[in-house]
Amino acid sequence: MVSNFISSANFAETKILVRSKEEIHDSVSLSFENAKDAREFSEDLDPEVHEWEPVVTFSADDVQIGSPLAPPSGPMIDPLNGNQWSLFSGHGGIDSFGTVDIDAERAWAITTGSPNIVVYVMDSGIDTRDPDLAGRVTSGFDAYNPGQNPIDQAGHGTHVASILGAIGGNNYGITGVVPGGLEIADGRFLNAQNQGDSDSALRVIRWMEEDMRRRREINPNVKFLGSNSWGGDVKSDFLEQAMQRLAAYEYLPITSAGNHGGNNDNRDYYPCNFQLVANTCVAASDRLDLKSSFSGFGAASVHLMAPGDQIYAIVPGSGSQGSYQSRYESKRGTSQAVPHVTGVAALIWAANPNLTASDVRQVLVQSVDRIPGAENFVLSGGRLNAYRAVLMATGQDPSAANRKLNATTNDGGGCSLNAEEVQSSPNFALVIVFVMSLILLAILRFRSVRS
């Protein structure tokens, strides 16, 4: 273990986590003047009594800020929906702008959420002054300022939370993947530079565990989801074990594949590669349904793709309560893909509360829009589709939703599919099967007559 101090630059060499083998729930972080002191201290620990590991660093998984792309088409719910291609391009297929969306509007015809859903956004904090997020955050914890409400100093957590749950139909701003019933719990562990470490992450996880226990006591039907738009490539066993304990509350963790562009089947990226019940790892796709080049992937370890390129959402605004001015930015990253999946998982659970966390993951994986070639990047071989997911969760046939399996062009020239056209194709296939059966029967009868 000592060699860790020398071999990896990805943790604070002067800071370690120590815990008693008797009480693994509680670890303390110890800081030293220099790495040599830290090393000597850890060597003096009795391995029969104590365990330790270096404090490791995580960072937010977004990159590059740009301006919104050309507006998508379709009916709008809130004034700025025109910038939200991932939700408002038109029914999950390639539309006249050569774009795809996750087919959220048709999912919302079935459910817009449930007051029994709580999503833990573990991030840089959330700016709840924005009218689209006001009232959404019902509990919070700041690893840097315990006892105070988290404030977003990086802009990352507000962006993620608003993709997930900006209030829909309030004639203001944008619309989240979950426009209706939803509670957000704000666990801040990323600092103003979008960085956090395993020490602060552990504090948030312990708070989450207590928050879940309290909420479950009040409401036995409450469901717990985690939106984790962050990661790092050095493992923390302490953090993995702490997150594993949340399975006792049927917690469904959605994690990001990272922006390293590499294959998570062969490299380490956490928490995507943590062994957690129902851990659902997400890669980013772009407006042409291609895996974004920056996105991590993994045919075994990454479950599905979701829009994570040029995603327009809220960042902390300016002014005080009375004169508050909302601000928006387009961002790119697996950070932006994760809340799309978390939101659809919430819709699945709202549509069918009887599902387990693992059931919800299975629905997410099985209901994707299959994309040719995507099986090389993600287990499901496709991109998130909210409508097919909600249909499948309620026991309906998701093939009723349109697919883009056969769409081969994205130049926008008349390749738009509507629901009716696609719904008719299974019937057409049935007719062909029926006619073929008749021909086969005729041949068999003809043969039997001859013999």
Give the whole-angstrom CA distance, residue 62 versus residue 229.
8
Beta strand pairing call for 117-123 and 223-228: parallel
Q: CB under 5 A: which stretch of 78-86, 135-143, 192-200, 305-313 binds Ca ion? A: 78-86
DSSP state of 116: T
How far apart are CB 351 and Ca ion at their closest, in Å? 22
- Is the preceding peptide bond at 271 cis, omega within 30 degrees of 0? yes
How far apart, in whole angstroms, are the C-alpha atoms of residue 393 and residue 387?
Answer: 10
State in angstroms the smallest separation of the CB of 168 from Ca ion. 6
Residue nearer to Ca ion on the CB measure, 170 or 366: 170
* Span from 127-135, 209-217, 270-278, 394-402 in contact with Ca ion (CB under 5 A): 127-135
Q: What Rg do the C-alpha atoms of the chain give, in angstroms? A: 24
Q: How far is the CB of 243 from Ca ion (least distance, A)?
A: 32
DSSP 247-312: GGGT-EEEEE--SS-SBTTTS--BTTTS--TT-EEEEEE-TTSPBPTT--BBTTT--EEEE-SSEE
Q: Considering the complex, state which of residue 32 and residue 172 has its C-beta at the smaller distance from Ca ion.
A: 172
- Tell me which of 78, 183, 211, 309 binds Ca ion, using CB under 5 A: 78
Determine if residue 34 is left, alpha or beta; phi over 0 gives left, psi from -120 to 50 gives alpha, anything else beta: beta
Decide whether 53 or 132 has the Cβ nearer to Ca ion.
132
| Shortest distance, position 338 Cβ to Ca ion, whole Å | 20
Cβ distance to Ca ion smaller for residue 132 or 309:
132
Picking from 272, 233, 270, 266, the residue whose alpha carbon sits closest to that of residue 254 is 272
Residue among 153 and 326 whose Cβ is closer to Ca ion: 326
Minimum Å gap between C-beta 81 and Ca ion is 9
Give the shortest CB-281-to-Ca ion separation in angstroms. 29
CB nearer to Ca ion: give 125 or 173: 173
What is the closest distance, in whole angstroms, from the C-beta atom of residue 346 to Ca ion in the complex? 17
> How are strands ordered across the β-sheet holding 117-123?
137-142, 183-188, 117-123, 223-228, 252-256, 280-285, 304-307, 382-383, 369-370
Q: Which is nearer to Ca ion, 94 or 133 (CB)?
A: 133
Count of positions on this chain that bind Ca ion (CB under 5 A):
6
Between residues 181 and 262, which has the closer beta carbon with respect to Ca ion? Answer: 181
Going by the DSSP 8-state scheme, the letter that residue 71 receives in this structure is P
Least Å from the CB of residue 77 to Ca ion: 7
- Using CB under 5 A as the criterion, what x/- string covers residues 129-168 for binding Ca ion? ---x----------------------------------x-
For Ca ion, which is the closer residue by CB, 81 or 256? 81
Nearer to Ca ion, 173 or 196 (CB): 173
User: Closest distance between Ca ion and the C-beta of residue 136, in Å?
Assistant: 11
d(Cα 401, Cα 386) in Å, to the nearest integer? Answer: 10
Strands 223-228 and 183-188: unpaired
x-or-dash pattern for Ca ion, window 161-200, by CB under 5 A?
Answer: ------x--x-xx---------------------------
Shortest distance, position 176 Cβ to Ca ion, whole Å? 8
**CA–CA distance, 3 with 238 (Å, rounded to integer):** 18
Q: What's the DSSP call for residue 349?
A: H
- Nearest alpha carbon to residue 405 among 440, 432, 372: 372
CB of 312 to Ca ion, least distance (A): 13
Residue showing the smallest CB distance to Ca ion in the complex: 78
Q: Which stretch binds Ca ion (CB under 5 A): 17-25, 75-83, 104-112, 216-224?
A: 75-83
Nearer to Ca ion, 98 or 176 (CB): 176
Place of tokens 């490299």: 267
Binding to Ca ion in span 268-307, by CB under 5 A = none
Distance, in Å, from the CA atom of 308 to the CA atom of 225, rounded to the nearest integer, reads: 19
Pick the stretch among 72-80, 89-97, 238-246, 339-347 that binds Ca ion (CB under 5 A): 72-80
Question: Cβ distance 302 to 283 under 8 Å?
Answer: yes
Q: Which pairs count as long-range contacts for 67-72, CB under 8 Å and 24+ apart, including other chains?
A: 67/330, 68/310, 68/312, 68/330, 69/287, 69/310, 69/330, 70/97, 72/97, 72/99, 72/101
Interaction site with Ca ion (CB under 5 A): 78, 132, 167, 170, 172-173
